[in-house]
Amino acid sequence: MKRYSAFAIAREAARYHTGWERAWRAPIPKKKYDVVIIGAGGHGLATAFYLGKNYGIKNVAIIEKGWLGGGNTGRNTTIIRSNYLQDPSAALYEKARSLYETMSQDVNYNIMFSPRGVIMLAQTHHEVRGYQRTAHANALQGVKTEWIDPQRVKELCPIMNIDGPRYPVMGGLWQARGGTARHDAVAWGYARACSDMGMDIIQQCEVTGVRSENGVVKGVDTTKGAIDCDKLGIVVAGNSSHVSEMAGFRLPLESVALQALVSEPIKPCMDIVVMANTVHGYLSQSDKGEMVIGGGTDGFNNYTQRGSFHHVEETVRALNETFPILSRLKMLRQWGGIVDVTGDRSPIIGKTPLGNCFINCGWGTGGFKAIPGGGWATAELIAKGEPGPLAEAFSLDRFREGRFIDESVAAGVAH
């Protein structure tokens, strides 16, 4: 595959852009692969990429029922941060954040990673104590964050009203190395790199069954025929319970809708990401000038990829007080994704009751930021058959053993 570079752009400009190749192949599925991964979203593609890059396993198929990156990877608010309270979470998300920094070079695809800084606003006394605690925990974990006062918040984000009557800004948890990335490019970059390694990305191919013999996985049935495999990775986010039922086990998950919306584009007015967890809203400005707004989840199980309107209303109403500039903006688009939420709001990366079948799920509302780290840890799990240090604490049996990684207080809503 030809490399993307400044030289390539100049070369193609000189010949009317006739020499660009397709970014990835559209292969006919083979009869058998060493590893089959269900789900060509960010985590599935990252898992395949690191299987090839770190472990040399390249006879891999990634099966996708829709189009690659068309689920939550293409529906999130692109925020990247790693200021988590618990040690296993901080290690995993910080690994992901650090991999994002060099990802454009690693996959030779510009993912537009922008470490512009993330503030999590404290708007109640409870949040002040919670975020100060997180800042101390992060210092011990080696994750660089700091507690900042309201004046510093105002300096970083001048459009903010810090004296609101209902939700005054009492400070914030500031991670200068957090930021955003182009979400589609993350999926496309990994897909192009995987295809370049000889892996098959099979789109428009839905898994209809999981075949096993004597408790060990043998392959999958799909709408494009049966595909055998030695090892199976299930990386399907909101549809995890649906696929795990085919594989014969249940998961501690509930699938709910999470929504986001964007405004009409306006001139640059905000060069950081702000999260306001008390009011369930988070905000950043895209390169096109749109204000990107994320809201809270609905309370009921849902697979429709659309959420309840009143949650949008609540989010916008609450953000209007802190960001008066928003009050006259028209909202252009609103959409929903189906997120799989666990009891302790932490993901599951681990073995399953079915032999040689591994799962990566339960990211809830915060999967995008973790894509490279989740892929790295899942690749290690699949390659070695046992979880490595990053994934160890996130195993499925932690629910039976009571080893929760409780992030529901620190980051339950706005991941």
Partner 1 sequence: MLILTCPYCGQEADETTLHAGGEAHITRYGPGSSDQEFEDYIFARQNPKGVHFERWQHAYGCGKWFHAARCTTTLEVFGTYSAQTLEPPKEVTDLLDEKRPGWSWGTLK
* Binding residues among 279-298 for partner 1 as defined by CB under 8 A: 298
| CB of 253 or CB of 258, closer to partner 1 | 253
Q: How far is CA 366 from the centre of its chain?
A: 6
Which of 224, 309, 317, 385: binder of partner 1 (CB under 8 A)?
Answer: 309
Asked whether the beta carbons of 119 and 179 are under 8 A apart, the reply is no
Taking the C-alpha atoms of residue 370 and residue 384, their distance in angstroms, rounded to an integer, is 21
Taking the C-alpha atoms of residue 390 and residue 379, their distance in angstroms, rounded to an integer, is 11
Choices 159-167, 190-198, 248-256, 266-274 (CB under 8 A): range interacting with partner 1: 248-256
Closest CB 288 distance from partner 1, rounded Å: 31
Taking the C-alpha atoms of residue 388 and residue 272, their distance in angstroms, rounded to an integer, is 34
Which of 215, 299, 324, 389: binder of partner 1 (CB under 8 A)?
Answer: 299
Closest CB 166 distance from partner 1, rounded Å: 19
Which of 169, 194, 202, 251: binder of partner 1 (CB under 8 A)?
Answer: 251
Residue 403 sits in the site that holds partner 1 (CB under 8 A): no
Choices 130-138, 185-193, 304-312, 361-369 (CB under 8 A): range interacting with partner 1: 304-312
Residues 6+ apart with CB under 8 A from 36: 60, 61, 62, 63, 219, 220, 227, 229, 231, 232, 233
| CB of 286 or CB of 305, closer to partner 1 | 305
| CB of 105 or CB of 304, closer to partner 1 | 304
Closest CB 245 distance from partner 1, rounded Å: 8
Which of 302, 352, 356, 395: binder of partner 1 (CB under 8 A)?
Answer: 302
Which of 110, 132, 255, 286: binder of partner 1 (CB under 8 A)?
Answer: 255
Residue 239 sits in the site that holds partner 1 (CB under 8 A): yes
Order the strands of the 281-285 sheet from edge to edge. 146-148, 172-175, 118-121, 273-276, 281-285, 291-297, 253-263, 331-342
The amino acid present at 321, given as its one-letter code, is E
Residue 252 sits in the site that holds partner 1 (CB under 8 A): yes
Closest CB 65 distance from partner 1, rounded Å: 12
Strand, helix or coil at 284?
Answer: strand
Asked whether the beta carbons of 91 and 373 are under 8 A apart, the reply is no
Residue 335 sits in the site that holds partner 1 (CB under 8 A): no
> How would you classify the pairing of strands 172-175 and 60-63?
unpaired
Residue 303 sits in the site that holds partner 1 (CB under 8 A): yes
Which of 242, 317, 384, 403: binder of partner 1 (CB under 8 A)?
Answer: 242
Choose among 172, 161, 180, 184: nearest CA to 74. 184
Distances 16 to 4, 5, 9, 411 between C-alpha atoms, Å: 16, 17, 10, 49
Residues 6+ apart with CB under 8 A from 25: 195, 200, 201
| CB of 254 or CB of 290, closer to partner 1 | 254
Which of 149, 163, 245, 271: binder of partner 1 (CB under 8 A)?
Answer: 245
Taking the C-alpha atoms of residue 257 and residue 309, their distance in angstroms, rounded to an integer, is 11
| CB of 16 or CB of 300, closer to partner 1 | 300
Rg (CA), the chain: 21
Residue 66 sits in the site that holds partner 1 (CB under 8 A): no
* Binding residues among 339-378 for partner 1 as defined by CB under 8 A: 340, 343
Closest CB 399 distance from partner 1, rounded Å: 5
Cα dihedral 45→51→52→55 (10° resolution): 170
Which residues bind to partner 1, rule: CB under 8 A?
239, 241-242, 245, 250-255, 298-304, 308-310, 340, 343, 399-400
